[in-house]
Chain A
Amino acid sequence: MISSIFVVAQTVQERITALETASKLDSQILTEQFYFWTVVVMWLIHVGFMAYEAGAARRKNVMSTAMKNILTIAVITPTFYYFGWYIYGCMEEGWPKSGHDSPDAFPGFCGLTAPWSEGLGPNLQDHVSLVFFLAFLLFSWTTASIMSGAVIERIRLSAFLLLAVMLGSVVWILDAAWGWSSGGWLTTRFGFHDAIASGVVHGVAGAFTLGVLLNLGPRIGKYDLAGRARTFRPHNMHLSLMGLMLIFTGFYGFYAACLVIQSTAFPGWLNIYLSPTTLGTIAMVITFGFAGGFTGGWFASKGDPFWTLSGGLAGVIAVSAGADVYHPSLAYLLSFTGGMLAVWAGTYIEQKLRIDDAVGAVAVHGVCGFYGVFLVGIFAGGYPTGINSIESSMGGQLVGLLTFIPLGFLPGYAMSWVLKRMNLLRVSPEVELEGLDLAEFQRDFFPEFERVPEVIVGPDGEELEAAPILLDGYRRATHARATTRAGA
């Protein structure tokens, strides 16, 4: 009798163990599926960036603009795999290394980020590492795409790709290791809080872009002799607006991918610092962020379509840092200010600083990204962040800002300066005037459509014939500085 009870108990125990194993595997596979689908949705961000920028370009530069976005994937994917991911996994403690200030949340994570490790190859025992890598890879593409739009119509494709590698596979992922990971020193020591990457992705990419733009210079004809800004007509504004809407759709995937879920390891959803939140919370914040941002952009620009949509993006970026804790009403209010700020900052950068940012990336991503980090210090101060439960504070957020602004700006400025010295940064003035498509691809990509004279909108809003303005700008450009070695 007793022996039969023992046998039954043993059978039950084996059954329970088998169910636990199966449950754990199911949970891991659900996590794997979750990240897989966020990656799929995030592809729309890049479809959107390509459409957005190609639409904003003049007809003569459409394909060269689009190819930047496509080849971004070709260069960042391998570089992020071979060294970018390792930076994230192994540099959380900062430099010089002083050890974690907290228990290592994921013991052995550093070793799993080497390209020859079991974490980055086919592994039937690991359903999470590869999809987690892929989600971060898509973030990396996004950082490069942020820079991509600002530099169109005069940067060399290859120069952009080298800069994209620096930004996407080194700079942003280093700041993510420091301030966007469970063991990052900014979080474990200062309680730095940037849940959905306002500063970590957008702010840093915007600062990097600003550094590049200072060396790249404006497009020929952008400014008149008095330094007043002219406007180039986008060849297809509908395409640009559709691109922005695709970016917005992809942003839901971006937001979701910023959370962590693994039900057998911890209950519910966690943010990147392993503090609890819910998917619904961040989904509400992004949605109200768009609503407030569109409204702010509309009013600040007095109804300009481009800035209204850009305002939506800026609004979301402004509330992303605190998206795991903000109330929807707070997100609506703050994103409204973010949308307005983007318009004002964009106008200031273009007209006062005379920096030719073709799509307003520095204002939308850079200014509003860091603005979002700042807002957390005010509206989420006291929130216990991360595994050390250090309270978010204005001081901690300022430490983050003081770290990230130079971390983004200086590499962008230095690398573009070197490329400029080597005459590899910008196309020649002749090619810029003719259009990059003919030089890069030897063809016009609208063969059935007759070319019409190019038009430029003057500082006072009047439409002007572009040819004399561009030729004047060309003469000034060729007399002011050396051009390429070609034909020399």
Chain B
Amino acid sequence: MFDAFPFDEWSEEITTFWTFGTEGDVGTIILTILGVLLMIGSLIQFVRLETRKLDAQTAALRSALSAAEETIATVTVTTTTITTD
């Protein structure tokens, strides 16, 4: 079966075909630049996205913590007042 495969009919161009051109062509260089931009952009965005998430969670936790501490302080003051009276 493979002996009958039409090798001779393959175009010479198929051996050098790259999308948008061959090695070192403008098309390949442009693709490389776009890839590098995506790489750098994603690294920056990893940092920014996480910072937003962590800051929001930290702020929420701190406000919850301070609210809890205020409640404890209020209860402590009230208890102390009642005991004193």
Interface centre among B17, B36, B38, B57 (most CB of A within 10 A): B57
Determine if A487 and B62 form an interchain contact, defined as CB atoms under 8 angstroms apart.
yes
> A79 touching B32 by the CB < 8 A rule?
no
Q: Does A127 contact B (CB under 8 A)?
A: no
Interface string of B45-74 (1 = CB under 8 A from A): 011011101111111011101000000000
CB <8 Å contact, A439 and B42: no
Main secondary structure of the interface of B (DSSP, over half): helix
What 1/0 mask marks residues of chain A from 149 to 160 whose CB sits below 8 Å from any chain B CB? 000000011110
Closest to A118 in B: B23
Partner of B50, one of A156, A434, A485: A156
Task: Let me know if A439 and B57 touch, CB within 8 A.
Answer: yes
User: A82-B39, A121-B23, A485-B55 given as contacts; is B61 within 8 A of A430 (CB)?
Assistant: yes
Q: B56: nearest residue on chain A (CB-CB)?
A: A486
Chain B residues closer than 8 Å to A158, beta-carbon distance: 46-47, 49-51
Query: Which residues does chain B contribute within 8 Å of A440, judged by CB atoms?
Result: 50, 53-54
Contact A117 B55 (CB under 8 A): no
What is the bound-complex CA distance between A125 and B47, given in angstroms?
A: 41
Q: Indicate the size class of the contact surface on chain B.
A: 20 to 34
- The answer to whether A116 and B23 have CB atoms under 8 Å apart is yes
Given A121-B18, A431-B58, verify A162-B47 contact (CB < 8 Å). yes
Query: Which residues of chain B come closer than 8 Å to A123, judged between CB atoms?
Result: 23
Contacts of B24 in A (CB 8 A): 116-117
Contact A82 B36 (CB under 8 A): yes
> Contact flags (1/0) for A423-465 with B, using CB distance below 8 Å?
0100110110010001110000000000000000000000000
Say whether B62 contacts A75, CB under 8 Å.
no
Main DSSP-derived SS at the A contact region:
helix
Instruction: Count A interface residues, CB 8 Å.
Output: 37
Task: Report Cα–Cα, A74/B45, bound state, in Å.
Answer: 13
Q: Quick one: which of A75, A118, A428 contacts B58, CB cutoff 8 A?
A: A428
Whole-angstrom CA separation of A434 from B56 in the bound complex: 14
Tell me whether B77 is interfacial, beta carbon within 8 Å.
no
Please give me the residue from chain A that is nearest to B52 by CB atom. A486
List of B residues within 8 angstroms of A74 by Cβ = 42
Closest to B48 in A: A158
Q: Which of B14, B15, B36, B63 contacts A487 (CB 8 A)?
A: B63
Which residues of chain A are near B46, meaning CB under 8 Å?
A: 71, 75, 157-158, 161-162
Give 30 A-B contacts (CB < 8 Å), ordered by A residue.
Answer: A78-B35, A78-B39, A81-B35, A116-B23, A116-B28, A116-B29, A117-B24, A121-B22, A121-B28, A122-B17, A125-B15, A158-B47, A158-B50, A162-B43, A162-B47, A165-B43, A428-B58, A428-B61, A430-B61, A438-B57, A439-B57, A439-B58, A440-B50, A440-B53, A440-B54, A483-B58, A484-B54, A484-B55, A486-B56, A487-B55
Q: Which residues of A contact B (CB under 8 A)?
A: 71, 74-75, 78-79, 81-82, 115-118, 121-125, 156-159, 161-162, 165, 424, 427-428, 430-431, 434, 438-440, 483-487
Extra inter-chain contacts (4) besides given A121-B22, A123-B23, CB under 8 Å = A116-B29, A158-B51, A439-B57, A487-B62
